[in-house]
Each structure stands twice: as C-alpha cells, then as structure tokens.
Chains A and B, each alone.
Chain A
Amino acid sequence: AQSVTQLGSHVSVSEGALVLLRCNYSSSVPPYLFWYVQYPNQGLQLLLKYTSAATLVKGINGFEAEFKKSETSFHLTKPSAHMSDAAEYFCAVSVVAGNQFYFGTGTSLTVIP
C-alpha cells in the first residue's frame, strides 16, 4: 500500500531561519510527489511537485524539495523563513499505476518574529 508520513505536526522557526518540513513516502513504484500549502480559511495551493524529472524541485515563494529515492523522502526546505510562511503544509503522493492519491496529515508551521 502507498502512504505518506509527515514527521512533526507542528514546527516553529524564527524569522530568517531555515525551514525544514519532513515527508516520507512508501510506494512500490516510482511516485509523483507534491507539497501543498493551506493558509487560514483558504484552499490548498500547490507549492511544487516532483514528476520524475529533476530530483531537486523548486517551487513558489522560495521553497524547494529534493526527491531522495534511497531515503524515500521528499523534504521541503526554505533557506530563510518569513512571517508570511506561517501556514499548514501538506505532502501528497500519487501513484498512477495504482490509481491512488494520498495527502499526509500536515505540518503546521509557526514563524516567530
């Protein structure tokens, strides 16, 4: 079965510090991987996605993620946190062959001034 695990339901960082949000997946076939962000009272918005091209994926708002097959990970990073980055972040995995799409449970990011 395919699934996605986000370690840490809450992460706090200081403004200007590195943001690291963790995502691990389990899949028997190469997956497609996504990071979505949800601001309060808004719908989810795509940050970036991995579709088997470059393993380092750059997204919007300065975020990037690296697909590491050996670690079955797709961690999201940003070099310097901004107050506006405070939101809920969801990792998602898509396995086309299995016709399956799953979101993780989310990580709430707090940015401390």
Chain B
Amino acid sequence: EAGVVQSPRYKIIEKKQPVAFWCNPISGHNTLYWYLQNLGQGPELLIRYENEEAVDDSQLPKDRFSAERLKGVDSTLKIQPAELGDSAVYLCASSLLAGGLTDTQYFGPGTRLTVL
C-alpha cells in the first residue's frame, strides 16, 4: 500500500513569491491534515479536512495561506505571498476515519520550504 505522497520534497523561493504544495493521502482515508513544523519543534496543525470539508482551519493564517481538497482526495496548500518566516517543513497526514482526532495519522515525508 502506498503511503502519503507529497511533492515537491524541497522548494526554494524568494520572499513575496507564491508557492504550492501537493499531497495525495492513502487511498480511502477520509481525513487529511496539513501541519507546519519549524526546526526543533513539534508539528502544528494548520487545517484538517474530513472528505472535502475543512472542519478545522482555526490555525491557518488566512491572509496568505489557502488550501483545498477537491473531490475529497488529494489536497493543495498554497502560500501567497511567502514571507521569510514561512521557512519550515510542511507535513501532510491522513487517517482512515472521519472525526479522526483519535485515529492513527499517517504522515508523508514533508516539503521543506526555504524562503530567501
């Protein structure tokens, strides 16, 4: 069974440029998560989808960040414009069940973003 796929693995951009990250969850998983992980820190939840509905986006900086999960499968996270402080690893995870706060989350390898 394929795991969570993320692309690109690495991205270097200049500040004020847009950037997008893509995630394909494990087949059949209803819940999808986007996390931000700063160096030396634990992941911080940005947004959680159950199927195509964003059920928790309270920590997503909506002035510059946006996300979508069309058809309840893969998802895209976008930053426009990027700032220096956005340099971090962006993790995608999925879990089988809806209402998945107690369910095992399966993580992708992450996208390491560097903003110059």
Contacts and interface: CB of A to CB of B under 8 A. Distances in A.
B101 A94 contact: yes
A110 to B, nearest CB: 15
Secondary structure type dominating chain B contacts: loop
Interface stretch (B61-69, B75-83, B106-114): B106-114
Given A49-B104, A51-B102, A43 B42 contact: no
Interface string B82-116: 00000000010100000101101111111000000
A44 B110 CA distance: 10
Interface in A2-32: 9, 32
A32 B102 contact: yes
Interface string A38-61: 000111111001010000000000
Nearest to B107: A43
B101 A101 contact: yes
Interface of A: 9, 32, 36, 41-46, 49, 51, 90, 92, 94-96, 99-106
